[in-house]
Amino acid sequence: MKKAFVTLGFALGLPAILVVLWWIATTVSPSFFVPTPGELIVTFVETWFGPRLWVDILPSIARFGIGVVIAIVAGILLGMLVGLNRDLRAFTEPVFEFFRALPPPVLIPVLLLLFGPTDWMKVFIIVLAAIWPVLLNTIEGVRAADPVQTETSRSYGISGLNRVRYQVLPSAAPQILAGVRQSLPIGLILMVISEMFSSSSGLGFSIIQFQRRFAIPEMWSGILVLGLIGFAVAAVFRYVERRILRWYHGLKELENAA
């Protein structure tokens, strides 16, 4: 129980300090462009607990979720295929490096011309941005598979999909999930940016509209919504990661104990 309270104290300590400093700063030196904590909370509830929850927040989360899931699945499948084939890896590496270097926001005008301002355009730009960390980490994770395990699998006649399932995939899982962790905030960023272009709904659209109308507390409340979504996504990912990599974290704990 004591350990739980200590952990909770460390988790909430810094946010509490920052809120207190924010309250002091806005009290001592009020600014039109920075609302007080109380004003922001009232505006947050009034703005987002209503029609905007269904019109802006949930559609944005849906586009983010679909885009990230597609990016993760495609990145893992393609990464496994490329990582297991040395010739294919050499063939695709220049193309991968070229497209990885392109900032995804610069592709939005091109995609708008090709697909129009549709939801699938927004999902596609999220996929284009979020796939690279997963893809490249999967390739490197597959390449780094333990050669002793590989030889042992061959000696026991484990090959094909069984080898991928029981040896390659578990071995590469920590690095794959590291790529997934990187892809989540990238997908969230592109979700917002894509909604700022030729859109009529979504968090990005609402935030830019608040900014243009000088609705400053509402704009900050939209940023707060994004922060809470990002926090929730990170918490869910940590839970899933701990479940998938129980064996890996167990080995790390044993190594640290030794």
Dump pLDDT digits (tens) for 203-223. 999 999 999 999 999 999 999
Query: What's the pLDDT score for residue 3?
Result: 63
Q: Which helix (H) or strand (E) holds 223?
A: helix 216-244
Q: What percent of the chain has pLDDT over 70?
A: 85
Residue pair 216/35 in contact (Cβ under 8 Å)? The answer is yes
Per-residue pLDDT of 53-101, as tens digits, reads 999 999 999 999 999 999 999 999 999 998 888 888 888 888 888 888 8
Residue 116's Cβ-count burial label (10 Å; 0-12, 13-18, 19+) is exposed
CA angle 126, 128, 131 (to 5 degrees): 95
Q: Where are the domains of the chain?
A: 1-30, 35-257
Query: What's the pLDDT score for residue 150?
Result: 66
Residue pair 70/130 in contact (Cβ under 8 Å)? The answer is no
Confidence check: pLDDT of 114 > 70: yes
How many alpha carbons lie under 13 Å from residue 26 in its C-beta half-sphere? 16
Confidence (pTM): 0.87
Query: What's the pLDDT score for residue 45?
Result: 93
Residue of higher predicted confidence among 147 and 184: 184
* SS3 call for 34: strand
Residue 213's Cβ-count burial label (10 Å; 0-12, 13-18, 19+) is exposed
Under CATH, what is the fold of the domain 35-257?
A: MetI-like fold (1.10.3720)
State the chain's mean pLDDT as an integer. 85
* SS3 call for 217: helix
Cβ neighbour number for residue 19 with a 10 Å cutoff: 11
Query: What's the pLDDT score for residue 256?
Result: 61
